[in-house]
Structure 1
Amino acid sequence: MNKHLLTLLSALLLLGGCSSTPTYSPEQPPAHTQKNICALTAHDRIFYDAAKRAERKWGTPAHILLAFVHKESRFLHDAESSSGAYGYAQAKDATWDEYRKATGHWDASREDIYDALDFIGWYNYLSHKRLGISRWDAYNLYLAYHEGRGGFARKSYERRSWVKDLAKKVANQAWRYRQQMKRCGL
């Protein structure tokens, strides 16, 4: 009897360990890992896994999604800006509410990496559908993300060279992430 009870308790402990809820808002990765997807993934694979999930759902490649997070928040879950943008994706309240309404994901959190990357994927999907931007075009996707789709359509970025510089940085980081992913087998 004791042997069976011990076996049952051991099995329950093992199952309990396997079913634990993952941490969706991991600690900010060290700065030296943030520009290298292989190092970032070695620090915590959750960033890559969340990006791949959003890629499968919305079509924007993981390396572009992660480049957005790198630029917007440096992988800090509670990053804030003076403009009222918040979280990994630096989403503003109104745009975040639009996302939650459109997707029915009312409990989505800007501090949850899965939700933040889903948001970026969703936003890029709409930019692709409404503006014809390729889901592989990190530069123009970021311009639409930063300026809003209306601002992108009006080419508001043309008067703001610093915004184009930001988009170049995102595109370059996305390219680096893609090359790194090939090297480390992601």
Structure 2
Amino acid sequence: MKKVQLAFKTTLVVVISSTLLAGCATPPPKNTSNLCDIFLEHRDWYNAASDMRDKWGVPIHVPMSMMYQESSFKHNAQPPMRWFLGFIPYGRASSAYGYSQAKTVTWDEYVKEANRFWASRDNFDDAIDFMGWYISKSQRINGVSKWDAYAQYLNYHEGWGGYKRGTYRNKAWLVQVAKKVDSRAKDYASQLKTCEEDLQRGWLWRMFFS
């Protein structure tokens, strides 16, 4: 009974905190099907994604497609709450949280390896950097190209060990999701080519020449 009460109190604190922070949170992009629209609405996101690309050698369209699949670009996304007897909350299916839906253990590993002890999962800049780190590490561990959104998503979902063991082969639904991620990544890549030159221009140029 004490465990149930503790879980309820913890959930209540999270709900209240989320409500208080909602007013200052960055809203999801209005049009998530077009990468240009996403970055034109949130230009600071492009800057963060560009920094990630320079740092990890990961093409922008791959983690952005994966992020859309994981959280729909919601800063506080997390798995649904599980309920006991239909009305008593007792925790979530996993510790995944934030834009990247990074699990606590994996996030802690990233924080240590990347030396980003101030990083937060509900901060876009940190989340996209985490995904760049993960994708880069998937290449090192499992030999998966950083440009292969299909295989990279399977690594991301199943973990490096799970991908190596081929656990995704028994999950037809996951294979289909990975194909969607790959298709979206290709669309995002094509779209970015049409607007990246404008995104790279500073605010002063846009003020006088746009």
- TM-score, with length taken from structure 2: 0.73
Q: Deviations over 1:121-159 (max 9, x none)?
A: 001111101111011111001100000000000000000
How many residue pairs end up in the alignment?
Answer: 161
2:170: which partner in 1? 159
Q: CA deviation at 1:183?
A: 2.2
Does residue 1:29 correspond to 2:40, yes or no?
no
1:103: which partner in 2? 114
Q: Given residue 119 of structure 1, which amino acid in structure 2 is its aligned partner?
A: F
SS in 2 for 1:27: coil
Does residue 1:116 correspond to 2:132, yes or no?
no
Q: Which structure 2 residues correspond to residues 84-99 of structure 1 after superposition, within 5 A? A: 84-99=95-110
Identify, as 1 or 2, the structure richer in strand: 2
SS in 1 for 2:77: coil
Does residue 1:39 correspond to 2:37, yes or no?
yes
SS in 2 for 1:184: helix
1:132: which partner in 2? 143
1:73 counterpart (60, 71, 74): 71
Q: Given residue 36 of structure 1, which amino acid in structure 2 is its aligned partner?
A: N
Counterpart CA distance in 1 for 2:25 and 2:131 is: 16
1:119 and 1:25, CA in 2 relative to 1: closer, same or farther beyond 3 A? farther
Worse overlay, 35-44 or 171-180: 35-44
* Percent of residue pairs bearing the same amino acid type: 42
Counterpart CA distance in 1 for 2:127 and 2:180 is: 20
Q: CA deviation at 1:42?
A: 1.9
Uncovered stretches (5+) of structure 1, i.e. residues with no partner: 1-23
Q: Deviations over 1:56-77 (max 9, x none)?
A: 1111100111111111111111
Counterpart CA distance in 2 for 1:134 and 1:143 is: 12
Q: Given residue 102 of structure 1, which amino acid in structure 2 is its aligned partner?
A: E
- TM-score, with length taken from structure 1: 0.83
Counterpart CA distance in 2 for 1:97 and 1:111 is: 14
Uncovered stretches (5+) of structure 2, i.e. residues with no partner: 1-23, 80-92, 198-210
Counterpart CA distance in 2 for 1:185 and 1:58 is: 19
Does residue 1:171 correspond to 2:182, yes or no?
yes
Contact 1:25–1:111 (8 Å) recurs in 2 = no
RMSD between aligned residues: 1.4
Q: CA deviation at 1:84?
A: 2.2
Does residue 1:55 correspond to 2:66, yes or no?
no
1:146 counterpart (157, 166, 169): 157
Counterpart CA distance in 2 for 1:179 and 1:96 is: 30
2:7: which partner in 1? none
Q: Given residue 27 of structure 1, which amino acid in structure 2 is its aligned partner?
A: P
